[in-house]
Amino acid sequence: MDAQTAAEKIVRAGYGDVISNIPSRSLSFRVQIVKSDVDVIRLVSSYNEFDGDATADAVGAILDADAAYEVTFGRANSPVLHVWAKPGKLEQVRNILKRLNPGELDEVGNDTLRAWWD
């Protein structure tokens, strides 16, 4: 990442206590992740059971497969990911997310999955 994108700035501010050991954080935020922003997830290398590299790879796979309308990453106290799956793609997305071993993997709306790690 050469120049900071808006997504990177938001993730750095939201996880300042984890990424930079600075007294800056937001315990509740989400930012849209597009293909060019997938690597910002890697900034949070680990957080309890969360693995930033594995999650970035999974989101990249979901976006490469054109399986989602939208993906957001953020924090709900701990790392959280929301994926709005395209019709017929919900189980494909669910199977990819299951491999990340989130503490919770819930369907929170029509074709929308929420993965949360504590």
Q: At which residue do the structure tokens 């497969």 appear? A: 65
Kindly report the pTM of this predicted structure: 0.93
- The answer to whether residue 65 sits within a structural domain is yes
- The answer to whether residue 1 sits within a structural domain is no
User: Along the 118 residues of the chain, how does pLDDT read in single tens digits?
Assistant: 456 899 999 999 999 999 987 888 999 999 999 999 999 999 999 999 999 999 999 999 999 999 999 999 999 999 999 999 999 999 999 999 999 999 999 999 999 999 999 9
Report the distance separating Cα 63 and Cα 30, nearest Å.
18
Structure tokens at 14: 């939201």
Report the distance separating Cα 47 and Cα 65, nearest Å.
27
Query: Residue 25, SS3?
Result: coil
pLDDT of residue 116: 98
DSSP state of 81: E
Domain containing 65 equals 6-116
Closest CA to 66 of 42, 94, 85: 85
What is the number of domains present in the chain? 1
